[in-house]
Amino acid sequence: MANDVLRIYQRSYPQIQTAFDAIPNSAGAATVAGSDCCLIESLTTDADQAEIARTDKTGTLDAYPTQGGRRTARGQAVLSMAGNGAAGVAPDCKNYLQAAFGKAPTISAGTSVLYTLDDLLYYLAIWNFNQPNTAEQMCAFNSLINKMVVEFGGDEPKLTFGFESGWVLTPAQIGDSNTDPLAKGGLTAFPNEPASPVVNGTFPPGFQVTATLDGTAYTTLLTGRITLDIGRELRKDTNSAFPRQGVPGPRKVTVDFSLTDDDSAALTGLKVKAYDRTPVNVEFAIGTVAGNTWDWLVKNVILAKPKYGDEGIRRKVDFSGSMAYPTSVGAKDHLQLTIR
Amino acid sequence: MKRKFLFVGGLPSELMGVLRFSAFGQVEELDEAQAADAARGGCVILPADDPAAEAFTGDELKQYGSFGALRRAPADFQAKVKQARIAAAAFAAEAEAAHQAQATDQQVAGVKRG
């Protein structure tokens, strides 16, 4: 009897590739290890191929069968904002973060881990393991993160990473002689999931947020979201059905947040700055425990015009769609994360 | 070969199916490969015979072993914690370097088909 594949048995293992087309390996054997594990709430890694119809008239009412088009793949990982718990040690989702920010973190041993924006491309091999081992297993490789969403204010703060991949390798393709070698990422065998995944820490409560808006600390934050859109993409050249290289793309940082409305001078001043389009810095520090406080700093934000609504028995004010910009062109300083 | 390792993390860490570090100062016996993989994966451990590990007294670890008590520990103990974590980071970096040295990242030849 077949075994159902249960959703709870899924884990992700994102590895940073050292080269395009090469899932990390040693002489063709994948080097994925328990240390690469990053728990996820959900993970999709979907390969696709366009169908190309022949447009010539056939002289009948029927068409010729379509031909296979370009190979593409997309995916998304959703996970809790779980920190390590020891200051200066990167969280389990470190490779997702590094690929999203475009730069390796600056680690101050025993103190903090700092992520800042840059233009580097990191290709990820994202292993999507399911149990039992005979269930479908996947590796989305040559993956470029093109979107990161940070959400807080609820019970569990969340991170979402969207990505485009070169292809998604499965065990069946490894043994299939008709499968293009480019689809195999340099592997000669598909590995089993590592026996002992290493998992560290937990998430800080998503409602323990210190919101500092234009220099004033607020305790009335309701919800917040930071979105980093990166126009990175895999080039669709005319020499292969598979993408052969990634290219950097423009960044866009958006912040959305809502507060309980009140008549404080500070909030009134913030609304005025929204109307005047005066840029402000906003900072959301999630958590209070050393080693698991996620401090998101968004600089030079032009606040969206405030919108009002009800939130239970109170009124709320919403600054959704506020855009952040570098303090000078090329400074790349409009979003940073310090885990301390 | 198995060795003893001291856990100096600030929240629980787990080698699923093997063991769980649930208190600061927990000592466990691990084989070298397992310990290296754990350290690479962010588990904050160092060999129990490392000077930074031996700096802790049994009484201190008993007193501040829970994660809550650890955060309230006095400055001199916190200084030892920081040194131990720096040593753990060095141990993890060594493990990472050894791992990277093994990976040859074989690439496929540039076969281009549909």
DSSP state string for B9-67 = -SS-EEETTTEEE-STT-EEEEEHHHHHHHHHTT--EEETTSHHHHTS-HHHHHHH-SH
Percentage of chain B with pLDDT > 90? 76
φ/ψ (deg, to 5) at B65: -70, -30
Chain A residues in contact with B89 (beta carbon < 8 A): 88-89, 107, 109-110
Give a yes or no: residue A162 inside a domain.
yes
Q: Is B23 on the interface with A (CB under 8 A)?
A: no
> For residue B108, is pLDDT > 60?
no
Contact between B44 and A86 using a beta-carbon 8 Å cutoff: yes
Q: Is A50 on the interface with B (CB under 8 A)?
A: no
CA B81 to chain centre: 13
Q: What share of chain A is helix, strand, coil (3-state, %, to 5)?
A: 10, 45, 45
Q: Is B4 on the interface with A (CB under 8 A)?
A: no
Give a yes or no: residue A30 inside a domain.
yes
The dihedral through the CA atoms of A83, A131, A191, A70 has a sign that is negative
pLDDT at res. B109: 45
> For residue B17, is pLDDT > 60?
yes
Q: Are A11 and A35 in contact (CB under 8 A)?
A: no
B contact residues 50-89, partner A, Cβ 8 Å cutoff: 67, 71, 81-83, 85-86, 88-89
Least confident stretch, A53-62, A193-202, B26-35, B69-78: B69-78
Give a yes or no: residue A318 inside a domain.
yes
Return d(Cα A245, Cα A182) in angstroms, integer.
13
Contact between A24 and B82 using a beta-carbon 8 Å cutoff: no
Burial per residue of A242-266, b for 16 or more beta-carbon CB atoms within 10 angstroms, e otherwise: bbbebeeeebebbbbbbbbbeeeee
Sort strands A322-324 and A294-302 into parallel, antiparallel or unpaired. antiparallel
Identify which of B27, B23, B25 has the alpha carbon closest to the alpha carbon of residue B5. B27
Give a yes or no: residue A54 inside a domain.
no
Cis peptide before A132 (omega within 30 of 0): yes
Contact between A199 and B34 using a beta-carbon 8 Å cutoff: no
Contact between B42 and A200 using a beta-carbon 8 Å cutoff: yes
Give a yes or no: residue A1 inside a domain.
no
pLDDT at res. A110: 87
Identify which of A175, A140, A17, A193 has the alpha carbon closest to the alpha carbon of residue B107. A17
Q: Is A51 on the interface with B (CB under 8 A)?
A: no
Residue-by-residue pLDDT tens, chain A, 340 positions: 898 999 999 999 999 999 999 999 999 999 999 999 999 999 999 999 999 999 999 999 999 999 999 999 999 999 999 999 999 999 999 999 999 999 999 999 889 999 999 999 999 999 999 999 899 999 999 999 999 999 999 999 999 999 999 999 999 999 899 999 999 999 999 999 999 999 999 999 999 999 999 999 999 999 999 999 999 999 988 889 999 999 999 999 999 999 999 999 999 999 999 999 999 999 999 999 999 999 999 999 999 999 999 999 999 999 999 999 999 999 999 999 999 9
Question: Who among B17, B41, B109 is closest to A195 (CB)?
Answer: B17
> Can you point out the beta strands (E) in A104-166?
106-108, 112-116, 124-129, 138-152, 158-165
Residue B70: pLDDT band (50, 70, 90) is confident
C-alpha dihedral, B85 to B86 to B92 to B94, nearest 10° = -150
Question: Who among A27, A109, A201 is closest to B89 (CB)?
Answer: A109
Return d(Cα B101, Cα A194) in angstroms, integer.
19
pLDDT at res. B114: 37
The CA-based angle A117-A121-A122, given to 5 degrees, is: 100
Give a yes or no: residue A95 inside a domain.
yes
> Total structural domains in chain A?
1
A-B C-beta contacts closer than 8 Å: 162
Return d(Cα A121, Cα A235) in angstroms, integer.
13
Contact between B14 and A200 using a beta-carbon 8 Å cutoff: yes
pLDDT at res. B100: 83
Element (H, E) at A95: helix A94-101
Chain B residues in contact with A31 (beta carbon < 8 A): 99, 102-103
Average pLDDT, rounded, for chain A: 96
Question: Who among A199, A202, A289 is closest to B16 (CB)?
Answer: A199
Return d(Cα A209, Cα A283) in angstroms, integer.
10
Under DSSP, the state recorded for A88 is T
Give a yes or no: residue A62 inside a domain.
no
Q: Is B41 on the interface with A (CB under 8 A)?
A: yes
Within 13 Å of residue A172, how many CA atoms lie on the same side as its CB? 3
Return d(Cα A8, Cα A16) in angstroms, integer.
25
> For residue B104, is pLDDT > 80?
no
List the domain range (segments joined by +) for residue A257. Answer: 8-48+72-238+245-339
Residue B111: pLDDT band (50, 70, 90) is very low
Longest dimension (CA), chain A: 76
Chain B residues in contact with A185 (beta carbon < 8 A): 108
Task: Give the mean pLDDT of B35-62.
Answer: 95
Contact between A17 and B105 using a beta-carbon 8 Å cutoff: yes
Chain A residues in contact with B82 (beta carbon < 8 A): 110
Give a yes or no: residue A107 inside a domain.
yes
